[in-house]
Amino acid sequence: MSEWEKNKEIQLLQEYLRIPSVHPDIDYTSCVEFLKKQSKDLNLPLKVYHPGGPTKPIVVITWLGQQPQLPSIMLNSHMDVVPVYPEKWTHPPFAAEIDEEGRIFARGSQDMKSIGMQYLAALRALKKKGVVALKRTIHVTFMPDEEISGVLGMKSFVTTDDFRNLNVGLCLDEGVANTNDEYTAYYAEKTIWYVQFIIHGPAGHGSLLHKNTAGEKLEYILNKMMDLRRQAEHKLKSNPACSLGDVNTLNLTVVKGGVQSNVVPPVIEATFDLRLGINADLEGLEKQLRTWCEEAGGDIDINFKTKDKKIATTFDISDTNPFWVGFKTTMEKLGLKLRHAVLPGVTDVRYLRELGIPALNFSPMANTPILLHDHDEFLKVETYLKGIEIYENLLATIANV
């Protein structure tokens, strides 16, 4: 056992990472049992809710505040992780092995089991220092199914009286690692659309030149969509102050069609992942997509597999917001560089933002390659422990606002 693995917090993180709560068809039982042990160790009450059904548990660990009537602080994370290709990993993806450089290799080490455990470790550190309670109540929440849009998780939960009774005044959730020495607080998220084009055309023998085939129409749609992608790339390259959160991103993610090499398919399906900036014209974009379908030759259906509405920014990053002032001041006292931006992706807190609840996305991971959903996902031990210290100080400030 390395010196790192003798650290209680590292041991707990490894134990959590070794639970293979991986899509598809996750059994969350082991996660819930693990979290029950953590609540007992912290001497804090735990409740489990099932708004999305009996196999979709939501775990809430609560530290009651001195003034529980004040809006609470919600520290959110998710228990699920995305699938892996084990043959592409240099370490088993659910072994949580630590190499000689102090890197913890595991699916969920960045996204985002580590953050859920950092929340609990920060509470443990505060209690160890003799803090009986902070001014505001803190709810540490663990969600299912975030990686598949949280429909039976957070989306269901926010409609319940159980959620409303939490009286959330601020929610923290995951952000993105920084490859440099900065830390980023994301005050808003993009809007996510999954757009599926169902393209129809004549079928026939592969030796003939049929007119207006699904393949020709796909070419037109693909060129138009990739033009949008290139515009975003150009904007990023031409403006150093611009980040991924400031542009519309687009990727072709699924293509289906055809049954045999010599048969022209009557239908081809193409799905695109769009992450749209906070200033995007959603109505204008949808109109443009439908126009391109007609220009391509018609007989193309558009299916929005996900079509979120534009979500207003709910977190004020001005000096009139005591939460933001406290966040900035704490990071300054720790000697850390802080910037703010729009999150390039989306998370569970979009459902809170839809209700007007202030939310910040934040992952305390500086000088760390961005490996969420990637092979060989890892987080350094020293980065993880530094994150605990950061949350300890942040909570001591914002939960006392």
Q: Can you give the pLDDT of all 401 residues of the chain as single tens digits? A: 678 878 999 999 999 999 999 999 999 999 999 999 999 999 999 999 999 999 999 999 999 999 999 999 999 999 999 999 999 999 999 999 999 999 999 999 999 999 999 999 999 999 999 999 999 999 999 999 999 999 999 999 999 999 999 999 999 999 999 999 999 999 999 999 999 999 999 999 999 999 999 999 999 999 999 999 999 999 999 998 888 888 999 999 999 999 999 999 999 999 999 999 998 999 999 999 999 999 999 999 999 999 998 888 999 999 999 999 999 999 999 999 999 999 988 999 999 999 999 999 999 999 999 999 999 999 999 999 999 999 999 999 999 99
Helix or strand holding residue 333 (H, E): helix 322-333
Superfamily (CATH) of domain 4-175+347-398: Zn peptidases (3.40.630.10)
192-307 is classed in which CATH architecture? 2-Layer Sandwich (3.30)
Alpha helices in 169-213 (DSSP H): none
What residues act catalytically? Answer: 80, 146
Scan for tokens 């953050």, then name that residue.
Answer: 115
Q: What is the DSSP string of 34-72?
A: HHHHHHHHHT--EEEE-TT-TTS-EEEEEE--SSTTSPE
Query: How far apart (Å, rounded) are the C-alpha atoms in residues 400 and 72?
Result: 10
The confidence score (pLDDT) of residue 4 equals 82
Q: Where are the domains of the chain?
A: 4-175+347-398, 192-307
What's the rounded Cα separation, in Å, for the pair 73 and 139?
Answer: 6
Task: Give the β-pairing of 182-189 and 378-380.
Answer: unpaired
What is the value of pTM for the model shown?
Answer: 0.90
> Cα–Cα distance between 322 and 320 in angstroms, integer?
6
